[in-house]
Amino acid sequence: MTSPLLALAKIGAAVLAVLFAGLMCPYIGWLRRKIRAKVHGRVGPPWWQEYADLVKLLYKEDLIPATASRGWFTLMPALCFAVAISLPVLIFPIFYSLSDLILIAYSLLMVSVLLILAGYASNNPYSIVGARRALLAVLMYELPFVIVLITIFILTGTTNIFKIITWQALHGPIIMYLPLSAAAYVMCVPIKAILNPFSIATAETELMEGVLLEYSGKRLALLEFAHKMEFYALALLFAIVFTNLPGFTISTMATNSYMAAIWVLWVIFIAFIFSIVVSFVDALTARLQPYKAPKIYWIITTILSVVNLIVICMLKIAGIV
């Protein structure tokens, strides 16, 4: 298992996963805009719109506001981008010791926290209000999100993505066992990726993009990219953790490359469907008032996740699952 050729193949797979995610993120951003345009009855932007936006931002002038704390202002976007591009490597089952739910949850949180710190670093009143709202959002979604992950751990007995995939291959997709947890997960996504019913952190009309307000050029491109990557990573994690194909264990995929290809296509297909559904909700709904979101998260989402946790614990004790 530890031959240099295998290690090389793994590194190649990791690079491929990052490159593919890098190409996918602007595409998913475009999908969101196109779905919104279709809901409005418009034509919408062409498919390469978000790539053009990113290229343009890379070549814009680099401005650092006089009021911002210079070091943090330059450091945060780079760090945020660095954490974000590591997400697909963690989520795809490539390196055994890296693909772990705890590490993934931590990295997903890290992207949000670095975005918040970037907002504080720009030292603009609007950014600081946006950063505070984003912090409140972290407090809102993190509890049900972690409870969902704990439920998965109790059900499968492991936090490793490899073992979770194998467990699903033997027992069927986890969404059959944890429908309420899956619903709680889906509810956590809009606020984690700052999408519409809960886009209170970067409210365009009241806070002028909130944490992103003072960023321009390359740094804005990095932050936008990290933000889209977070959404893509959440969609991928849903596809792998909740809806894995039965029969596709890691060991069969390691020997049969056709099965591995089918599995990758299936995961990307589910991630696509997931992002289309979330984008559709984003286009249909208006932004909630900031004080209404905590009630929804702390009551509905937390209850959904806790109920499923209790049910799974009881089934485990009874020895049914």
Window of 59-67, 136-144, 170-178, 226-234 that interacts with another protein by CB under 8 A:
59-67
- Distance (Å, whole) CA 122 – CA 142: 25
Q: Which stretch binds another protein (CB under 8 A): 210-218, 248-256, 261-269, 304-312?
A: 210-218
The nearest distance, CB 220 to another protein, in angstroms, is 6
Contact between 53 and another protein (CB under 8 A)? yes
63 binds another protein (CB under 8 A): yes
Q: How far is CA 17 from each of CA 10, 12, 85, 89, 92, rounded to the nearest angstrom?
A: 10, 9, 9, 6, 8
Decide: 122 and 277 in contact? Cβ < 8 Å: no
Residues 9-48, interacting with another protein (CB under 8 A): 33, 37, 40-46
Q: Which is nearer to another protein, 10 or 132 (CB)?
A: 132
Interface with another protein, residue 230, by CB under 8 A: no
Q: Select the span of 140-148, 169-177, 211-219, 238-246 touching another protein (CB under 8 A).
A: 211-219
* CB-based contacts of 111, cutoff 8 Å, min separation 6: 80, 83, 84, 87, 226, 227, 229, 230
Among 1, 4, 5, 62, binds another protein (CB under 8 A): 62
d(CA 258, CA 216): 44
Looking at this protein, which amino acid is placed at residue 286? Answer: A
* SS3 category, 172: coil
CA 200 → CA 35, 119, 136, distances in Å? 21, 14, 10
Residue number with CB closer to another protein (47 or 106): 47
Nearer residue to another protein within complex by CB, 100 or 209: 209
* Residue 282 touches another protein, criterion: CB under 8 A: no
Contact 39, 283 (CB under 8 A): yes
CB of 63 to another protein, least distance (A): 5
| Alpha-carbon span 145 to 207, nearest angstrom | 26
CB of 50 to another protein, least distance (A): 9
For another protein, the closer of residues 48 and 106 by Cβ is 48
Site for another protein in 113-172 (CB under 8 A): none
DSSP state of 289: P
Give the single-character DSSP code of 228.
Answer: H
Binding site for another protein (CB under 8 A): 33, 37, 40-46, 49, 51-53, 55-56, 59-63, 204-205, 207-209, 212-217, 220
